[in-house]
Amino acid sequence: MTPPPFAAVDEQLARIRRGTAQIIVESELRAKLARGTPLTVKLGLDPTAPDLHLGHTVVLQKLRDFQELGHQVVIIIGDFTGMIGDPTGRSETRKQLTREEIRVNAETYRAQLGRVLDMARVRLEFNSTWLSTLSFEDIIRETAHVTVAQMLQREDFAARYGSGRPVSLHEFLYPLAQAYDSVALRADVELGGTDQTFNLLLGRDLQRAHGREPQIAVTVPILEGLDGVQKMSKSLGNYVGISESPEEIYGKLMSISDDLMWRYVELLTRLPAGEIDALRAGHPRDAKMRLARLLTATYHGDALASRAEAKFVREVQKREVPGIIDQVTVALGVGGGGRGKAPADSESRPLWWVVKEAGLAASTSEGRRLIRQGAVDVDGVRVTDPDHQLHAGPGYLIRAGKRRYKRVVLQSGKKS
């Protein structure tokens, strides 16, 4: 596909600035853009988890901006650096992944990236291509460009070192390896979250050491999760996965606060300023429905987004219980309990366990959170105690969130 003609420099900068946290250094970026040739714009992704969520798409949308402005997008799959594990924000050494785990995760990334980017115009590289060929002598030469004091400027390294927690030597090699990616690719621009600022700037330093023009570091904000407090994370249960069902995406987005909604509009969409102003002037519910439908359509298409919206209106806004409800049988085998209330061989289980086992929550932590927030009903009665006991018997109608219903039958663990 032929890339679009280049827009004026000021027009390009205006689009690049939207939703960014920092551009280091903007005057240098302006000079690069003024040359009128495609820039090599790099984003590194370590395939440490198989699924992408909306938090990941903030930087992917910025990459899409560069792509639509006519620049060459290069995504580096960190199959080599992934075996080290990015220490950013970690209070302890990250578990190293095997090559097979990385390969499997990388394959899922490839498919999901196509939901945001035009993959026909993306260069996909694996950094093992150049990093695995470096000799020990080569690595020694590269480490000579970086000091220990420089590494300890990183907040996470400094905090761990200051508190006596171990910092493994191989973790120092991670930012160096990421920086070497920029050298190998002759990157003009590198994108990343604000938590990646140190790594991106180290790339500038290493390029200079190799006698090359330093890249521009463009950072984007870290997206808060559905709770509006902590960053979006699957482990925290506050995420919206781009591969989730249309109904899940739409419903989760309708659950966010009005304040958080505008941050999502700014970082996750490319709505024109005039349309955003019009949404602000109207009812927040209408703006939220516009956001939910737009993002659902982005990852599933207009038809499924319309169906998800209709289902939400019917079941949540009009409070109609679905005509067809899935039934699931959960065996009371070994497990459950819940803070000593029910032994493993009892005929009851705590609600948090049932919600998780029935597939109404992705994790135990998400199940507990939903219950405490008053988002779970049992037979039409709201329950806020995660340890509320459910018993073997004919079944319960359980609602989790505003749109997920299941008829759950707890099968007795007693032998007949």
pLDDT, tens only, 8-31: 999 999 999 998 999 999 999 999
Beta carbons of 108 and 242 less than 8 angstroms apart: no
**In the predicted structure, residue 4 carries a pLDDT above the cut 70:** no
Distances (CA, A) of 222 to 124, 184, 253, 307: 24, 27, 17, 30
Question: What span, in angstroms and rounded, lies between the C-alpha atoms of 280 and 262?
Answer: 9
174 in the same domain as 73: yes
Residue 416, in any domain of the structure: no
198 in the same domain as 106: yes
CA contacts within 13 A on the Cβ side of 370: 29
pLDDT on residue 343: 45
Residue 230, in any domain of the structure: no
Give the bridge partners for 327, in sequence order.
407
Cβ partners under 8 Å of residue 1, min gap 6: 118, 120, 121
44 in the same domain as 106: yes
312 in the same domain as 275: yes
Q: Pick the residue with more confidence: 331 or 345? A: 331
Per-residue confidence at 264, pLDDT binned at 50, 70, 90? very high
Per-residue confidence at 246, pLDDT binned at 50, 70, 90? very high
Determine which helix (DSSP H) or strand (DSSP E) holds 261, and give its type and residue range.
Answer: helix 258-268
pLDDT on residue 90: 46
Residue 232, in any domain of the structure: no
352 in the same domain as 401: yes
Residue 252, in any domain of the structure: yes
Q: What is the CATH number of the domain that holds 195?
A: 3.40.50.620
43 in the same domain as 166: yes
- The burial class, CB within 10 Å (0-12 / 13-18 / 19+), for 292 is buried
Give the bridge partners for 329, in sequence order.
409
Q: 90-104, 169-183, 195-209, 300-314: lowest mean pLDDT where?
A: 90-104
Beta carbons of 99 and 145 less than 8 angstroms apart: no
pLDDT on residue 379: 74
Task: Identify the domain boundary among 317, 343, 371.
Answer: 317
Residue 322, in any domain of the structure: no
166 in the same domain as 58: yes
Residue 29, in any domain of the structure: yes
Question: What span, in angstroms and rounded, lies between the C-alpha atoms of 60 and 415?
Answer: 54
Residue 237, in any domain of the structure: no
Residue 227, in any domain of the structure: no
Q: What is the DSSP string of 193-230?
A: EGGGHHHHHHHHHHHHHTT-PPPEEEEEPPPB-TTSSS
Distances (CA, A) of 337 to 76, 269, 341, 342, 345: 45, 44, 6, 4, 9
Q: What is the CATH number of the domain that holds 382?
A: 3.10.290.10
297 in the same domain as 182: no
163 in the same domain as 120: yes
Q: Pick the residue with more confidence: 252 or 92? A: 252
158 in the same domain as 116: yes
- What range defines the domain where residue 60 resides? 9-220
pLDDT on residue 160: 81
pLDDT on residue 324: 65
- Give per-residue pLDDT as tens, 393-412: 767 888 888 678 888 888 87
Task: Identify the domain boundary among 185, 220, 255.
Answer: 220
378 in the same domain as 292: no
Number of separate domains in the chain: 3
182 in the same domain as 143: yes
Average pLDDT of the chain, as a whole number: 84
